């Protein structure tokens, strides 16, 4: 099978040191690839090379003709001079160009009078052909398509004409995702797409990638997201790429088994080498053993050293410095509210956070989580009474903290500029604990990866002793191992912690109370994140607030109703009900299989027709265009049937 993208003998060097070399792999249709490796291994660099934004030192990337590649960068740069609709319309630039070409051809036809000439007939055919292409590409209904897509991503109709600069990072990511979706790329390259996204957006992206027929290469440190999306894992390790054709969790297991096998083989080889060297040293000067010694020397020279997959054994020793004890109640909110003109961000917020508690702020983007944090920080005015307790020393880690670093400074200078007193004598030790030891401390900030920048920003954050931590999306850009270490450090911290995060894995086991932001209200839920999800009878945080919008009643009221009604639980279903449910599930699974088979057949037929259309004879055949349009309609219907069956199966 010929791949859509072929990476051949790729090599990248930085400062005469190879980041990776002799890397080869193929991306096939419908591949969902997770690109993994430690921070700085070259994952983002690999995506940029495949996207054509960066040139390798050696090797090449071959993309099949007519294969379109869409790239979502880790850090977006928007023009800020357009509205949401105008920005999304950029996905149809090719359609606008074709429409202008058709208009030009039409103008020529109107101006010419040589109706019987071969040139005029050629012009007629060209106009007919290009106009049919324009209609086939959906020139008449792309505005409706834009509206459906933006509405599906959570944008209100009133948002369509708002400037993009008015939106937060999460909403801008949705704009970029809308552009990628509407452009209908064959391959998507996504670099940390879940950063700055709320759970609703993450779940939408999971569904989009699952339903899309495109191939995906994904870099992410969100373990739940990777597991829900990918079916293949490419690991960058020791400057090489190892291909595991399994999902991430299976890859972790296989990698452990692979390394264990390598270790056994390595140990056996080392024993063999030691035995050979021992024999050579013992009998080197004995004439009677000269032949055997030479034989052992040749045998030793022929041994090919066994390589062991790289394991990052450096340990991030993260410990919050000791601090004085705060009062019993570091944060008290009494009827706190925040309005921007007529827009109500939240109101009637009543909460009390006790000393030593670790709580989470969760909810959709734009519901006021970061706004309340700013109120606590006394950065913005608000209504009601907000009290900060006695002797509270507050530390705030913003989600854009890593982007605020000076690119021209070195790692060492970045910390040296903020360190005070005795801490300056320990800068090298601190940097070493954060895996910036040796030459790494002399790197400039601008060459650091996203994860390395986040670690550096975390060092700056830790230099001041605090007893109230406020962390706004602290796991963005951090790899999974570093996230675990940060989580352990927060658990060991004896002060108070407020975490604004959408990372389910990170919050699990960390927080003991959840504050839900939805519909202009803040509601308290005792227990961890998954207790909260079960209490709300939802499977993910994207359903936060749906009870408000659907029923017009508060979630708390709904919850109390459920309790009073004593609705039977899933476990209380009778045997007959369970049997019927199993039967329905089997039917849905069969429907999914049939739909997938139908989609595959239709895609094959469309590919054959498109191959014919690419020839001059085919381009002039109107019937082929009609056939192509019908097949596309059938494919859309089949995909809708598949989507409904999958959704029903998930429910």
Select from 518, 545, 550, 541 the least CA-distant residue to 344: 518
**Cα angle at 14 between 12 and 20, to 5 degrees?**
35
318-342 tens-digit pLDDT: 667 777 888 899 999 999 999 888 8
Mean pLDDT over each residue of the chain, to the nearest integer: 78
The bridge status of strand 5-14 relative to strand 58-63 is antiparallel
pLDDT single digits (tens) 336-380: 999 888 888 899 999 999 999 999 998 877 788 888 998 998 888
User: How far is the CA of 291 from the CAs of 103, 276, 300, 494, in angstroms?
Assistant: 88, 14, 14, 70
User: For position 299, what pLDDT does the model report?
Assistant: 87
Q: What is d(CA 365, CA 175) in angstroms, rounded to the nearest whole number?
A: 14
pLDDT at 59 over 60: yes
Residue 1: predicted pLDDT:
42
Give the E-state strand segments of 495-582 in sequence order. Answer: 496-500, 513-518, 521-526
Q: What is the pLDDT of residue 515?
A: 92
Q: What percent of the chain has pLDDT over 90?
A: 10
pLDDT at 33 over 80: yes
Name, in order, each residue with C-beta under 8 angstroms of 527's C-beta and a sequence gap of 6 or more: 512, 513, 514, 535
- Four-CA torsion 588, 590, 591, 593, nearest 10 degrees: 130
Q: Which pLDDT tens digit goes with each residue over 258-280? A: 878 878 888 888 898 998 888 88
CA-to-CA distance for 176 and 151, rounded, in angstroms? 14
Look at residue 423 and tell me whether its pLDDT is greater than 70. no
Sign of the C-alpha dihedral computed for residues 169, 218, 470 and 554 taken in this order: positive
Q: Cα torsion for 6, 7, 8, 9, to the nearest 10°? A: -170
Contact by Cβ (8 Å): 523, 359: no
Whether the CB-CB separation of 208 and 32 falls below 8 Å is answered with no
Neighbours of 137 (CB within 10 A): 15
Query: How do residues 581-637 score in pLDDT, each as one tens digit?
Result: 667 777 777 887 888 888 888 888 887 877 776 676 666 666 776 787 788 778 878
Q: Among the listed ranges 62-76, 79-93, 570-584, which one has the minimum average pLDDT value?
A: 570-584
DSSP 219: E
CA–CA separation, 116 vs 650, rounded Å?
63
| Consecutive H or E run containing 446 | none
Long-range contacts for 430-433 (Cβ within 8 Å, ≥24 apart)?
Answer: 430/459, 431/459, 433/315, 433/316, 433/317, 433/318
First to last CA, the chain: 36
């Amino acid at each position: 099978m010929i791949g859509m993208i072929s990476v051949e003998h790729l090599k990248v060097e930085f400062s005469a040191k190879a980041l990776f070399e002799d890397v080869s792999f193929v991306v096939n249709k419908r591949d969902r690839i997770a690109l993994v490796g430690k921070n700085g291994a070259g994952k983002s660099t690999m995506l940029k090379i495949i996207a054509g934004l960066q040139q390798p030192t050696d090797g090449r990337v071959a993309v099949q003709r007519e294969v379109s590649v869409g790239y979502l960068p880790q850090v977006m740069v928007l023009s800020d001079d357009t509205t949401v609709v105008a920005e999304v319309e950029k996905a149809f630039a090719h359609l606008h160009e074709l429409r202008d070409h058709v208009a030009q051809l039409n103008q020529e036809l109107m101006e010419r009078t040589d109706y019987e000439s071969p040139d005029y007939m050629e012009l007629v055919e060209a106009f007919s052909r290009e106009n049919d292409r324009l209609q086939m590409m959906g020139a008449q209904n792309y505005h409706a398509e834009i509206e459906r897509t933006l509405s599906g991503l959570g944008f209100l109709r009133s948002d369509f004409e708002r400037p993009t600069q008015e939106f937060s990072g999460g909403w801008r990511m949705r704009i970029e995702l809308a552009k990628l979706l509407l452009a209908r790329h064959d391959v998507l390259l996504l670099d940390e797409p879940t950063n700055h996204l709320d759970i609703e957006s993450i779940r939408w992206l999971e569904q989009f990638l699952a339903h899309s027929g495109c191939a995906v290469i994904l870099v992410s440190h969100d373990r739940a997201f990777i597991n829900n999306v990918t079916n293949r894992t490419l690991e960058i390790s020791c400057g090489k790429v190892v291909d595991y054709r399994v999902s991430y969790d299976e890859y972790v297991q296989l990698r452990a088994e692979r390394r264990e096998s390598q270790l056994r083989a390595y140990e056996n080889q080392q024993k063999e080498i030691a035995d050979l060297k021992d024999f050579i040293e013992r009998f080197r000067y004995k004439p009677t053993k000269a032949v055997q010694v030479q034989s052992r020397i040749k045998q030793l020279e022929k041994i090919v050293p066994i390589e062991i997959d790289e394991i990052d054994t450096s340990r991030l020793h993260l410990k919050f410095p000791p601090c004085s004890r705060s009062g019993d109640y570091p944060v008290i909110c009494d009827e706190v509210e925040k309005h921007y003109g007529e827009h109500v961000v939240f109101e009637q917020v009543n909460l009390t956070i006790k000393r030593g508690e670790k709580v989470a702020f969760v909810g959709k983007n734009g519901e006021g989580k970061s706004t309340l944090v700013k109120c606590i920080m006394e950065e913005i005015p608000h209504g009601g009474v907000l009290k900060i307790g006695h002797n509270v020393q507050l530390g705030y880690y913003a989600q854009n903290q890593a982007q605020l670093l000076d690119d021209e400074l070195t790692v060492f200078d970045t910390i040296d500029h903020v360190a005070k007193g005795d801490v300056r004598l320990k800068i090298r030790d601190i940097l070493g604990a954060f895996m910036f030891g040796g030459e790494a401390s002399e790197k400039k900030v601008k060459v650091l990866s996203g994860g390395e920048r986040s670690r550096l920003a975390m060092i700056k954050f830790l230099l001041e002793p605090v007893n109230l931590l406020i962390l706004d999306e602290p796991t963005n850009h951090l790899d999974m191992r570093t996230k675990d270490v940060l989580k352990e450090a927060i658990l060991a911290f004896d002060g108070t912690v407020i975490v604004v995060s959408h990372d389910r894995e990170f919050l699990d086991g960390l927080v003991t109370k959840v504050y839900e932001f939805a519909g202009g209200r803040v509601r308290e839920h005792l227990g961890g994140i998954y207790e909260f999800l079960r209490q709300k009878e939802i499977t993910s945080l994207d359903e936060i607030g749906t009870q408000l919008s659907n029923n017009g009643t508060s979630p708390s009221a709904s919850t109390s109703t459920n309790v009073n009604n004593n609705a039977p639980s899933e476990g209380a279903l009778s045997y007959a009900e369970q049997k019927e449910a199993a039967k329905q599930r089997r039917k849905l699974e069969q429907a999914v299989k049939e739909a997938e088979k139908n989609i595959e057949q239709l895609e094959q037929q469309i590919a054959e027709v498109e191959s014919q259309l690419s020839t001059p004879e085919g381009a002039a055949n109107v019937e082929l265009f009609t056939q192509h349009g019908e097949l596309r309609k059938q494919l859309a219907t089949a995909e809708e049937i598949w989507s409904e069956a999958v959704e029903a199966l998930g429910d």
